[in-house]
Amino acid sequence: MTAAGPVTASSADVLREADRRRTFAVISHPDAGKSTLTEALALHARVISEAGAVHGKAGRRGVVSDWMEMEKARGISITSAALQFAYGDAVVNLLDTPGHADFSEDTYRVLSAVDSAVMLLDAAKGLEPQTLKLFDVCRHRGIPVITFVNKWDRPGRDALALCDELVERIGLQPMPLTWPVGVAGHFRGVLDRRDGDFIRYSRTAGGATAAGEERLDPARAEAEEGPEWTRAVEEAELLAASGGDFDLARFRDATGTPVLFGSAVLNFGVRHLLDLLVELAPRPTPRPDVNARPRALDAPFSAFVFKVQTGMDPSHRDQVAFARVCSGVFERGMVVTNTTTGKPFATKYVQQVFGQQRSTLDVAYPGDVIGLVNATALRVGDTLHADRRDVRFPGLPSFAPAHFAVARPADLSRAKQFRKGIDQLESEGVVQVLRSNRRGDGSPVFAAVGPMQFEVASHRLSAEFKSPVRLDPLPYTVVQRLVDPAQRALVDGNRSEVLTRADGADLALFVDNTALGVLRRLHPEVVLEPLVAGNG
């Protein structure tokens, strides 16, 4: 039941609404322009009237998807953000993600909740280390990728060389749908490879509003653009001869990627990208449960939590759990079951999210991302459902940590707030929190993929919970999973110890490989398994 009464949706209604959804993530290496592109897409969808500034420009507005104080100060995204808006008849669920490798866990969780991804490449840098990792994750998960070559308004590399790099380094067939007219740094517009027309862009003041577009037929383009148009046509013909024409099947099976060229900060090529997403991006499909059985879209409501965030509204200190709807109709006020705990969860406060801005949501369908407010009982990986039988979707992996530090309250009078803050950060996955009887609850160990996670955790404990924290680094460099907890006493020593993660995994930490080797020689009966980065 909702405030407006019950929603009656037939199977046909659910399937029709699911077909309208496009749920995708924007991913890339840091500083490739993800947040700028996110806002440019919202601008072209006319859900904001003026784009925010590029990060770091004093006195100008910040992008809507970067709302944390640290994000504004650093000019980087450190947490994912959800934006939902309508575009034509489609409903777009866009997830902006952190690019920095230290926040890979957040990005990978988001990728579990989307049906496709937009990968940004910097025109001057091409494939960078984090870009390569993300492409690999998308391929492993079978996520179709659209590639947007950004910053073509600045000096950069040759367009054909960038496409060759996709083939040579990651084995992904580029299938450009637009081709730049003018070299990087002298961007005139693009050749639309589908109809052969020239789309010429015109700048607006600071890129704050949608760029003007003028469509010219080939004859006029040749007359007005001369050699630059001729070169673009010749390169497009070369692409066709080398298998670079668009193939929908290759896009859907993640072996080929449509490529577009543009400039997010100037809004060049952004409308084309948005239209392409609505036209070609996959619609929601039945999602496999833990037993690999696809759950029908029109089955009773089910969803899984992929992110938990606190502090989006500092005046209320509420906690929001982001869940991807997998099946059925969600109605605000319905009571659902949390499969993890077996307990009911009331959904009285549910919101549609647009960056930090939120509005009450009454109904959602497969593909939508919903924000469950005051969701202190929910954790990342939980499954919610309204079925008579239990539904459980696969859990989300924890990454193998590489950095460790003991956390202690800098002010002992704030110990209660310290413990509350630690529990909160743990539930959100900001850092992994490891515990042991040896150290006690007052000295948990933070475990992180990258050191910047420690900085975020410290900042939030101080700013949100008023509990400054002291972090004492630990010297561990090697992590293994202890298979048998009964062998814990054999591992705990001067150069190693065992700590337990929230998911129940016992992690054996060693100062170096020598310490691990000594343990193996002294106690060959101890069973240890390596943790793989991204699959901890």
Euclidean distance between the first and the last CA atom of the chain, given in angstroms as a whole number = 40
Closest of 419, 426, 474 to residue 441, by C-alpha = 419
Residues 6+ apart with CB under 8 A from 370: 303, 322, 323, 325, 330, 350, 351, 352, 361, 364
Burial 234-247 (b: 16+ CB within 10 A, else e): ebbeebeeeebeee
Q: For 147, phi and psi rounded to 5 degrees?
A: -100, 125
Distance CA 490, CA 509 (A): 13
DSSP state of 286: P
Residues 6+ apart with CB under 8 A from 259: 146, 147, 148, 149, 163, 166, 174, 175, 176, 177, 178
Distance CA 520, CA 78 (A): 39
Contact 106, 71 (CB under 8 A): no
Structure tokens at 475: 């010297």
H helices present in 114-242, as ranges: 129-141, 159-170, 218-225, 227-241
> CA dihedral defined by 416, 421, 423, 426, rounded to 10 degrees?
-160
Distance CA 396, CA 323 (A): 13
Is 13 annotated in a binding site? The answer is no
Structure tokens at 299: 């089955």
Distance CA 399, CA 432 (A): 9
Is 55 annotated in a binding site? The answer is no
Is 360 annotated in a binding site? The answer is no
Is 209 annotated in a binding site? The answer is no
β pairing state of 294-295 and 287-288: antiparallel
Contact 179, 235 (CB under 8 A): yes
H helices present in 174-269, as ranges: 218-225, 227-241, 248-252
Contact 334, 327 (CB under 8 A): no
| Amino acid (one-letter) located at 180 | P
Cα distances (angstroms) measured from residue 128 to each of 109, 169, 170, 432: 21, 11, 12, 27
Is 403 annotated in a binding site? The answer is no
Binding residues: 96-100
Binding residues for GTP: 96-100
